[in-house]
């Protein structure tokens, strides 16, 4: 791929992730020569601003990718299934945010802090992992290198922005309605009221009783860490938070890792900020991590219920490190 003056398409440019992609391309001075924002016909003709210039949203179609060097996809799995292969055939390299291709053996699934080497074997398409998985593996990788992780038990507290712009609006409207004395709320994105509630249900349920979101955490973790032996047990929960996902993570290691040693390792690891001073009430909070790039870790402590166990609290902005930022970091590896 060229290294300068790239023609970059963003499929889903009007969505929550697409919008973050435009900001991050600009912030990081990614070498964009021309930006081509793509979305559904609902947004055709809409103007967006990129680097101070107006750009017009075009309808995502078979002819969207002529001359495109890099295509960033975040318009849902069904759109990626149809249009990502079209973009690759047209000669673009695709970084796909959806779940469509992540588990395909020939497709690299990349978190730059964890498995940058996997990118080398790409055949035109690189998959960006699930948001909850990305922030967890950034934390797991340095601990795995130090002490080999045998098992992970994770519960997530996921913000509504992961489900898109309409989901953000649904939480806002429901909260407003309930605070104004209404007892019934309108719902369309989430299966139940999300305001003042927690939903143990993200993405669709599978026959095994788990949700797709939970299975993504299990399967994608093994693939990114390149270690099928890591056992993962996940419960994913939607909470009434707008931005940033939080996770309670319990790990069991082969070798004993004390809390102090674990903190030292995490503090030095790439992409991580340790915020762990509970006496002064310092630990990562979604409201502080929203809009930021790193993965924030705190509440690091030994688990006395097993021989070699640790508990961690991990928070990151799901639209940035969980989606748009990670995708652009992948693109940066491509042009390096």
Contact 71, 43 (CB under 8 A): no
Between residue 144 and residue 173, which ones bind ligand L14 under the rule CB under 6 A?
Answer: 158, 162-163
- In this structure, what are the phi and psi dihedrals at residue 332, rounded to the nearest 5 degrees? -65, -35
Element (H, E) at 141: helix 131-147
**How far lies 336's CA from each of 67, 110, 120, 238, in Å?**
21, 15, 12, 37
Q: Which of 122, 131, 144, 289 is catalytic?
A: 131
Q: Which one of ligand 25A, ligand L14, none is in contact with 76 (Cβ closer than 5 to 8 A by kind)?
A: ligand 25A
For ligand L14, which is the closer residue by CB, 146 or 239?
239
Round to whole Å and give the CA distance between 159 and 314: 14
Residues 6+ apart with CB under 8 A from 178: 185, 195, 196
Q: Does 61 bind ligand 25A (CB under 6 A)?
A: no
Which of residues 9, 92, 97, 232 is near ligand 25A by CB under 6 A?
Answer: 97
# residues contacting ligand L14 (CB under 6 A): 10
| Residue closest to ligand L14 when measured from CB atoms | 162
Place of tokens 């994913």: 236
From residue 45, alpha-carbon distances to 16, 78, 122 in Å are: 18, 23, 34
Residue number with CB closer to ligand L14 (193 or 308): 193
Catalytic entry in 192, 198, 201, 245: 245
Alpha-carbon torsion angle 93, 15, 328, 248, nearest 10: -120
Calculated CA dihedral for residues 264, 287, 160, 37, nearest 10 degrees: -90
Task: Show the binding pattern over residues 190-229: x = contacts ligand L14 (CB under 6 A), - = does not.
Answer: ------------xx---------x--x-------------
> Is 131 part of the annotated catalytic residue set?
yes
245 has catalytic annotation? yes
Stretch that binds ligand 25A, among 21-29, 162-170, 251-259, 309-317 (CB under 6 A): 162-170
Indicate whether 142 belongs to the interface with ligand L14 (CB under 6 A): no
Count CB-CB contacts under 10 A for residue 11. 30
Q: Which residues bind ligand 25A (CB under 6 A)?
A: 12-18, 39-40, 42-43, 60, 74-79, 97-98, 162-166, 323
Q: Which residues are catalytic?
A: 131, 245
Q: Which residues bind ligand L14 (CB under 6 A)?
A: 99, 130-131, 158, 162-163, 202-203, 213, 216
């Amino acid at each position: 791929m060229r290294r300068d003056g790239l023609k970059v398409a963003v499929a889903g440019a009007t969505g929550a992730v697409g919008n973050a992609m435009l900001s991050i391309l600009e912030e990081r001075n990614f070498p964009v020569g021309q930006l081509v924002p793509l979305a559904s016909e609902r947004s055709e003709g809409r103007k967006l601003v990129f680097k101070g210039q107006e750009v017009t949203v075009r309808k995502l179609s078979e002819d969207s990718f002529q001359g495109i060097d890099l295509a960033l996809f975040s318009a849902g799995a069904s759109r990626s299934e149809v249009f990502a292969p079209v973009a690759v055939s047209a000669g673009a390299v695709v970084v796909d945010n959806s779940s469509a291709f992540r588990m395909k053996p020939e497709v690299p699934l990349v978190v730059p802090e964890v498995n940058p080497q996997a990118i080398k074997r790409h055949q035109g398409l690189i998959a960006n992992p699930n948001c909850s998985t990305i922030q967890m593996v950034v934390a797991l990788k340095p601990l795995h290198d130090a002490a080999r992780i045998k098992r992970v038990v994770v519960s997530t507290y996921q913000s509504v922005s992961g489900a898109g712009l309409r989901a953000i609006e649904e939480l806002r409207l429901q909260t407003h309605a309930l605070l104004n004395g209404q007892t019934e709320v309108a719902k369309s994105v989430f299966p139940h009221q999300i305001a003042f509630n927690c939903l143990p249900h993200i993405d669709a349920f599978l026959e095994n009783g788990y949700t797709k979101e939970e299975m993504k955490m299990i399967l994608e973790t093994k693939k990114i860490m390149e270690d099928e032996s890591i056992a993962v047990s996940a419960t994913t929960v939607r909470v009434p938070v707008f931005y940033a996902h939080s996770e309670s993570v319990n790990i069991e290691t082969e070798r004993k890792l004390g809390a102090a040693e674990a903190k030292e390792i995490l503090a030095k690891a790439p992409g991580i900020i340790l915020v762990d001073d509970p006496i002064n009430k310092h630990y990562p909070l979604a409201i502080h991590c929203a809009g930021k790039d790193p993965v924030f870790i705190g509440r690091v402590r030994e688990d006395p219920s097993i021989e070699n166990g640790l508990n961690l609290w991990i928070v990151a902005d799901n639209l940035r490190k969980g989606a748009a930022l990670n995708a652009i970091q992948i693109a940066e590896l491509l042009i390096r």
